[in-house]
Structure 1
Amino acid sequence: MAVITSVETSNKPDHTKIHHSHAENLSKISAAGLLVALGIIYGDIGTSPLYVLKAIIGERGRIQQDLVYGGISCIFWTLTLQTTFKYVILTLRADNRGEGGIFSLYALVRRHAKWLTIPAIIGGSALLADGIITPPISVSSAIEGLQILYPDIQTIPIIIGILTLLFLLQGFGTKFVGKAFGPMMLIWFLMLGLLGIISLLAHPQILQAANPYYAYQLLTVYPGGFWLLGAVFLCTTGAEALYSDLGHCGRGNIRVSWVFVKTCLLLNYFGQGAWLITQNGQNLQQNPFYAIMPSWFLIVGIIIATLAAIIASQALISGSFTLIGEAIRLNLWPKVRILYPTLSKGQVYVPSVNKLLWAGCIGIVLYFRRSENMEAAYGLAITVTMLMTTLLMFYYLYTRRFPLWAAGLFLVVYLTIELSFLIANLIKFPHGGWVSLAIGLSLVMVMYIWLRANKIKQRLTEYVPLQAYIPQLKELSSDLSVPKYATHLVFMTNASRQQEIESKIIYSIFQKRPKRADIYWFVHVDTVDDPYTMEYSVQTLATDDIIRVHFKLGFRVALRINLFFRKVIEDMVKNGEVDVTSRYESLNKQNVTGDFRFVVLEKFLSYENEMPFIERLIMEAYFFIKGFTTPEDRWFGLDTSSVKIEKVPLIIKPVENVALTRVDK
């Protein structure tokens, strides 16, 4: 059961101790954690040896030593600078009490500049778009590998079946998935490293490609070498998902497992490079990944590669759930149902997003049909996400009192690297890259509409001083001529200031239908930037008549207000602050607890509106989207048997100067 801490009692939490304990848990390393990390984090980046060198050489067709050495050098330094230094060493430090990803980073810095919302929305949308592209291309490239054995096999039905099964598994939680996939990925990485070492023996001089000189020569001297960055970038596409999945595995497990993963990846890349050098001057006839396998091992290797490529989808799927959960709490995404399949912190499941991703993946498979057709749409969106993360990370470093020159150096270096990748990837746009950007743009529009509409609603909500209505509320509570509505009447309020209340609530109590109650409760939920805060405060405005409860909940805490409110009542009764016994005479004698009834006000767009054209479009789109989301009572986790939903009109600008004339007959 969730633990809610009152901030008014002597049990106020020591945040220093909480954060210290949390930091220890985040950095804790365990065998199980390492296995889960292998299973859910490294699928995307771990399967890149399947296609990266093939894509680099395939762009030119003929194998040349400068091309091979330069390509390997670019891969080595991309993994070192982009994945290892930027993400594993630096960005993983920017955790919001254990949570990672672009929205967690945004939550840490958003109070410093309002415009930071823009890179957060763009980056989050691009990452979600990549989450729709990654599963189809990973599974397709894997299944198409079976055509080496069975040339006439129909791959599309198999791909759709595997994707469907993968998305069905998500409901069991990433801990289950990680434990199931972890051992397989361990075998995969060991295979990568071993095959690479064996192949290296044919041309150990390829290790010289670690010298950045070869990368520089490829990008500046080799004809058209700069545009090969689009293919090189495929080796690091899973880095952003690695950061998003921080809450699933912990920083310590990710950092330790990355040493093993990177070693195996580099050994395989260098091994493929060694084989390519032995084919110098020839046209590339086969995938170098499979070429370094002994012929007797080929069948086993294809099966292992197929399973690993299927697993590659998991990193983006679990990262998408984390991303959406954070976006909802930050008011950047519609309120949809969020589930917590396991007791492990940081693991979430969003059914609606799972269905959305599944539908998008199936659409991609049916549209492109072959993995080589999907390559043009792959990688472009994630480059945009990495650029946005760089901007937010610069602000994070700056606000954490890093030397300005160091933060500035970080910004310049990574903007240069990622803008280069973006420019090189833009040549994919007319060949399919537009698909991922179109998906990303659609998601940007949803986030923008939701954010803007909520700001419009907030601007137009009228608040009145609650203190001014205390005498009327006490009189109504004592007025026996009005039928009693409930013993305890609980209103959910958006008013963040304790002394205020929405005018619509006052209207609901006194005018819509007089609601007499023995005790009026006003409950406000405030979502804070710290992901796991669980605190509340109580303000008694009139003893045994009017009480206000203010919850402060982190953006990763499941909203179970019914449960939390019951805990508050228990604490208040224990402290003698309130008497919840029924006020009905017959029930009072038997010490029966009084009934509680919740009232939730749900706004709808009034017909009596005159508003600017843009605002009208935004609000109409907002209410259209809202029709597909979770109702307010279920969103707050309220008991539906004791909840009253009241519709109230949202009037942005009332119609003026109605030309209505009275005529006498």
Structure 2
Amino acid sequence: MDITKDFHKLSAAGLLISLGVIFGDIGTSPLYVFKAIIGTSVITSNLIYGGLSCIFWTLTLQTTVKYVLITLRADNKGEGGILSLFSLVKRKAKWLIFPAMIGAAALMADGMITPPITVSSAIEGLKIYNKNLPTVPIVIGIISLLFIIQRFGTSVVGKVFGPIMFVWFSMMGVLGFVYLIEYPEVLRALNPYYAVHILVNYPNAWLILGAVFLCTTGAEALYSDLGHCGKANVRISWIYVKICLLVNYFGQGVWLLQHQGAFLNDQNPFFLLMPNWFLTPGIIIATIAAVVASQAMISGSFTLVAEGVRLNIWPKVKINYPSNQKGQLYVPSVNLLLWLGCMLVILVFKESRNMEAAYGLAINMTFLATTILMAAYLMKKHTPRYLIFLFLMVYLIIEFSFLIGNAAKITHGGWLTLLLAGLLFGVMLCWWWARKVKNNFVRYVDIEGYYPILSELTEDETVPRFASQLVYLTSANFRSEIESKIVYSILQKKPKRADVYWLVHVDVTDEPYTNEYKVDHLIKGKLIRIDFRLGFRVEQRISLLFRKVVEELVKNNEVEITSRYKTLQKYNMVGDFRFVVLEKVVSRSNNLKFTQRLVVDIYNLLKNFSLSEERGFGLDSSFVTIERVPLVISGTKEINIERVYWE
């Protein structure tokens, strides 16, 4: 049962859930944004007003306008995220797969740095008590515990996320408001003049732009987690979140104005807003909020990989479903991958100030990818061309400007996030490309020509019965076709007699939760094809789905599955079912082009770490026969050999 469905309509419960699930990442940005903007520079009014103005207009243009008002319109049956958006537009142009993969890889890489920077920023608040406190072991312990509990599901924890984040945002708002009422003149920073002035005149303007970008890094999560609570709840709750964020930022600005001419000396202005008596509870609340933000990124990565598997851009991996809640899933391999990435980030950078120098570079690529895919979506919806051009011009300029600002981070640690994103993109690209190469060598034949021989084979008692019900998974999209290798498997490799032959085809739809099937009786009672249409977020449990379909066909008297063995037939026993999975192997790959050979070799390497075909489709291995089928690249015509006769 989908317990989140009721929260898609505007409601108090939906608003509370959106606070907990959607805004974790962007909601913890005040922990490190102003600290990154000031850095080692002396505190000046120009820097403060310019920074505040940049923050306000970034949150307004990038988060509010682009994501909350425009991108949330591109929901796929209530679901969001870069791969959901790609599913909506992939028929528009084949090349759109590349920005989709780049954006997805960058989003996963971001998931490896978000937990370390948010948790580190919160825990480092303890340094107010002890400057020499070793925070790295504490951060490692908290993040490791977070990854350990993933296997148990987060539905129970998720129920308390909303109230926790409501306390967090309210706390930020109150802390900032106390300072804001002392010096309301700071609101002059709302004037875009200050943003333009600092970007034009400040000597390290690009570094400031890279730091400002951190205030909007969680914007993609607004879209990715849309399915949890619906766009109405996201849009309304964003009003409260944005107000609390801005009030806190402006409160930090007032505190900094009171300390002009000084240096931060690694102090965090967020914690300096707190009165001494509130420091301990404030740090505890900040740490819990950081864990919530980390959880949102981890859950988002699980969903991203599950979608990638079904869209054939990620190796088939084991996916567990700890609860019945829609969207609740756990991917053990990705959990380990993210944990290793987080540990690497912590051990390389150690402190949040070093992570700030690397953070934002990867997610900037996701923003650009979303802009490109969103433009394709607007074209699909027949939006006037001048509006599409305006959208592209505005956001490509903004996001390329941020990219230039973030490029300065490459030498300061950004190389690590780029490396992680590059490796993840390489996995996606090679998996997708190698499957394309293999599919080019799959040959299809007209199945009608084999109707007579298949009909006779079912009755030929000179051929041992291989199974009562023999099931093949086919990639043929049309009912009139079948892979030549399936025909070869049934008729030639080892003739396989069965009472009924079944062909099962799975079509992954562009919609998230499609769950349909169609039945074609190709040879009545002897050859049946079932086409499943499953959404890209639906678990492909083919064994259970097939059994359900067969039960319905038996109930409708469309098929007979009683065993034909005389003894078993006498007692009305159901015949045995046997699945045959053809594992396609590229042979003689030396005849491929260099790039094709390279991606096929990487694909074969990745297959060692991925699920087998039968486990990937949820088949019971005790009822499966695996046949390795060579895809021969070059035929015998290309071989020159001369026959001679010896005396």
Label 1:621 to 1:283 Cα distance change in 2 as closer, same or farther (>3 A): closer
Name the structure 2 match of 1:483. 464
Cα shift readout 1:128-177 (whole Å, capped 9, x = no counterpart): 11111111122222222222223343322222221111112223334333
1:658 Cα shift? 6.0
Query: Separation in 2 of the partners of 1:30 and 1:216?
Result: 40
Query: Separation in 2 of the partners of 1:287 and 1:162?
Result: 21
TM-score (norm 2): 0.95
Name the structure 2 match of 1:62. 42
Query: Separation in 1 of the partners of 2:287 and 2:630?
Result: 55
Name the structure 2 match of 1:186. 166
> Which of 379, 398, 407 is 1:417 aligned to?
398
Name the structure 1 match of 2:70. 90
Moved more, 655-664 or 537-546: 655-664
SS in 1 for 2:528: strand
Alignment-mate amino acid for residue 205 of structure 1: E
Q: RMSD between aligned alpha carbons?
A: 2.1
8 Å contact from structure 1 (residues 38, 182) kept in 2: yes
8 Å contact from structure 2 (residues 206, 404) kept in 1: no
Alignment-mate amino acid for residue 279 of structure 2: L
Verify: 1:657 aligned to 2:634, yes or no.
no
Name the structure 2 match of 1:393. 374
Verify: 1:380 aligned to 2:361, yes or no.
yes
Query: Separation in 1 of the partners of 2:138 and 2:596?
Result: 46
Query: Separation in 1 of the partners of 2:230 and 2:644?
Result: 73
8 Å contact from structure 2 (residues 32, 356) kept in 1: no
Query: Separation in 2 of the partners of 1:146 and 1:313?
Result: 20
Query: Separation in 2 of the partners of 1:426 and 1:537?
Result: 51
Name the structure 2 match of 1:229. 209
Verify: 1:269 aligned to 2:242, yes or no.
no
Cα shift readout 1:617-665 (whole Å, capped 9, x = no counterpart): 1111111101110111111111222111111122223574366877858
Alignment-mate amino acid for residue 202 of structure 1: E
8 Å contact from structure 1 (residues 449, 618) kept in 2: yes
Moved more, 235-244 or 223-232: 223-232
Alignment-mate amino acid for residue 640 of structure 1: S
1:561-600 map, 5 Å: 561-600=542-581
8 Å contact from structure 1 (residues 206, 270) kept in 2: yes
Query: Separation in 1 of the partners of 2:217 and 2:69?
Result: 17
8 Å contact from structure 2 (residues 121, 352) kept in 1: yes
Verify: 1:148 aligned to 2:97, yes or no.
no
> Which of 133, 137, 148 is 2:113 aligned to?
133
Moved more, 593-602 or 179-188: 179-188
8 Å contact from structure 1 (residues 35, 179) kept in 2: no
Name the structure 2 match of 1:260. 240
> Which of 18, 30, 54 is 1:37 aligned to?
18
Name the structure 2 match of 1:440. 421
Verify: 1:109 aligned to 2:84, yes or no.
no
Query: Separation in 2 of the partners of 1:156 and 1:224?
Result: 30
Alignment-mate amino acid for residue 543 of structure 1: K
1:7-86 map, 5 Å: 27-59=8-40, 61-86=41-66
Name the structure 1 match of 2:142. 162
SS in 1 for 2:408: helix
Query: Separation in 2 of the partners of 1:187 and 1:26?
Result: 20
Query: Separation in 1 of the partners of 2:521 and 2:216?
Result: 56
Structure 1 residue ranges without an equivalent (≥5): 3-21
Query: Separation in 2 of the partners of 1:500 and 1:450?
Result: 25
Verify: 1:218 aligned to 2:198, yes or no.
yes
Cα shift readout 1:209-266 (whole Å, capped 9, x = no counterpart): 1122221222223443343111111101111122111123322332222122111111
Verify: 1:305 aligned to 2:300, yes or no.
no
1:493-642 map, 5 Å: 493-607=474-588, 610-642=591-623
Structure 2 residue ranges without an equivalent (≥5): none
Alignment-mate amino acid for residue 142 of structure 2: I
Alignment-mate amino acid for residue 114 of structure 1: K
Query: Separation in 1 of the partners of 2:329 and 2:44?
Result: 48
SS in 2 for 1:600: strand
8 Å contact from structure 1 (residues 245, 322) kept in 2: no
Alignment-mate amino acid for residue 191 of structure 2: N
1:605 Cα shift? 3.2
Query: Separation in 1 of the partners of 2:547 and 2:318?
Result: 22
8 Å contact from structure 1 (residues 142, 310) kept in 2: no
SS in 2 for 1:460: coil
SS in 1 for 2:433: helix
Cα shift readout 1:4-26 (whole Å, capped 9, x = no counterpart): xxxxxxxxxxxxxxxxxx9x967
Alignment-mate amino acid for residue 521 of structure 1: W
SS in 2 for 1:377: coil
SS in 2 for 1:111: coil
1:447-462 map, 5 Å: 447-462=428-443
Moved more, 608-617 or 319-328: 608-617
Verify: 1:315 aligned to 2:315, yes or no.
no
Query: Separation in 2 of the partners of 1:652 and 1:339?
Result: 37
8 Å contact from structure 2 (residues 319, 332) kept in 1: yes
SS in 1 for 2:530: strand
Name the structure 2 match of 1:5. none
Query: Separation in 2 of the partners of 1:619 and 1:64?
Result: 57
Query: Separation in 1 of the partners of 2:526 and 2:291?
Result: 60
SS in 1 for 2:630: strand
1:328 Cα shift? 1.6
Alignment-mate amino acid for residue 172 of structure 2: L
Alignment-mate amino acid for residue 417 of structure 2: S
Alignment-mate amino acid for residue 434 of structure 2: A
> Which of 309, 312, 315 is 1:334 aligned to?
315
8 Å contact from structure 1 (residues 609, 654) kept in 2: no
TM-score (norm 1): 0.93
